[in-house]
Amino acid sequence: MARGGRGRHLGLALGLLLALLLAPPALWAKPTVRKERVVRPDSDLGERPAEDNQSFQYDHEAFLGKEDSKTFDQLTSEESKERLGKIVDRIDSDGDGFVTTEELKTWIKRVQKRYIYDNVAKVWKDYDRDKDDKISWEEYKQATYGYYLGNPTEFQDTSDHHTFKKMLPRDERRFKAADLDSDQTATREEFTAFLHPEEFEHMKEIVVLETLEDIDKNGDGFVDQDEYIADMFSHEESGPEPDWVLSEREQFNEFRDLNKDGKLDKDEIRHWILPQDYDHAQAEARHLVYESDKNKVFLSVLELFLEGRQFT
């Protein structure tokens, strides 16, 4: 494709983002929310809105980061244009006046990584109680479960009792997996792996195991089709299932259940939620280009604040 044509596409993508930043939150609502388990950075096991305007908010956060996206919500139209224009200059890493698809992908990865490490920095002091720049398992346990452990009778007949009873050993197992030197304390990097296991290769098995435990309601060590669907969709009303649910049942049979035994084992769950050929940043960059192609009306918005910049 000619350089100018590709430039129009990425320009439109950023125009779409500006329109998103200025859009009212009401545009993001949808009655039926679908949960997706494919792991992406900056996510809780990859929950992402699909097929609706909530995906605009996802693009918003992927491009700006969660904290900066909240800041944009407070800016005027002119302030948003100015701020986004500065961001575009930073994306153009080689300063040649062009923003390439690769530069956009690199920027998205940078935003994702910044969010993760900023998140750890924010909560670090809440757990590092002795200020030794490490977090022991005991420190984390007391900060998170201390009241429950000290007052168990208060929770005996509540749903919280079941939650705490389940999550405490699960957190300990994850902490041990992140603690590479097995000294029962976590460095900042180890604690980052504990809080964001999807970002670390040695934590992938924990992600798979926790996913299995979340979805496997009958405790047989597998995920059958009904459990797979129930994790995404709560059929609270009578009537037929939405089309996307029927499509997911087909996905389960055709693509998730690799050995065709009617259920997913750990290997099949890993293949599903941690696909080896999936690059989140690349997919998001392509998604922005695709969305911009569907929303050419935003080109006029883009031209208001990106005069003189070229996109490839």
pLDDT tens-digit profile of 261-290?
999 999 999 999 998 877 778 887 776 656
Enter the pTM of the model.
Answer: 0.70
52 Cβ contact list (under 8 Å, min separation 6): 30
Better-predicted residue by pLDDT, 72 or 1: 72
Q: Percent of the chain having pLDDT more than 70? A: 67
**CA within 13 Å, CB half, 1:** 12
Angle CA 26–30–33, to nearest 5 = 135
CA distances from 275 to 78, 241, 279 (A): 41, 27, 9
- Give pLDDT, residue 27: 38
pLDDT tens by residue, 214-250: 999 999 999 999 999 999 988 766 778 889 999 999 9
300 Cβ contact list (under 8 Å, min separation 6): 15
**CA within 13 Å, CB half, 86:** 6
Better-predicted residue by pLDDT, 85 or 12: 85
Beta partners for residue 224, in sequence order = 263
pLDDT tens by residue, 128-146: 999 999 999 999 999 999 9
**66: pLDDT confidence band, cut at 50, 70 and 90?**
low
CA distances from 280 to 68, 159, 165, 294 (A): 20, 36, 34, 21
**Which 3 state secondary structure label does DSSP give 219?**
coil
Residue type, 153: T
CA distances from 264 to 140, 211, 222, 260 (A): 33, 11, 5, 9
Neighbouring CB atoms inside 10 A of 60's CB total 22
**204: pLDDT confidence band, cut at 50, 70 and 90?**
very high
Average pLDDT (55-80) is: 63
Could you tell me which of 61, 59, 192 has the C-alpha nearest to residue 118? 192
Burial of 135 (0-12, 13-18, 19+ CB in 10 A): buried
**Which 3 state secondary structure label does DSSP give 283?**
helix
How far is the C-alpha of 308 from the C-alpha of 146, rounded, in Å? Answer: 58
- Give pLDDT, residue 208: 97
Residue 5: pLDDT above 70? no
How far is the C-alpha of 216 from the C-alpha of 229, rounded, in Å? Answer: 11
How far is the C-alpha of 281 from the C-alpha of 101, rounded, in Å? Answer: 10
- Give pLDDT, residue 286: 73
- Give pLDDT, residue 6: 43
**Which 3 state secondary structure label does DSSP give 186?**
strand
Domain ranges within the chain, ordered by starting residue? 3-134+187-311
CB 225 within 8 A of CB 249: yes
Mean pLDDT of the chain, nearest integer:
77
Residue 41: pLDDT above 70? no
Better-predicted residue by pLDDT, 279 or 14: 279
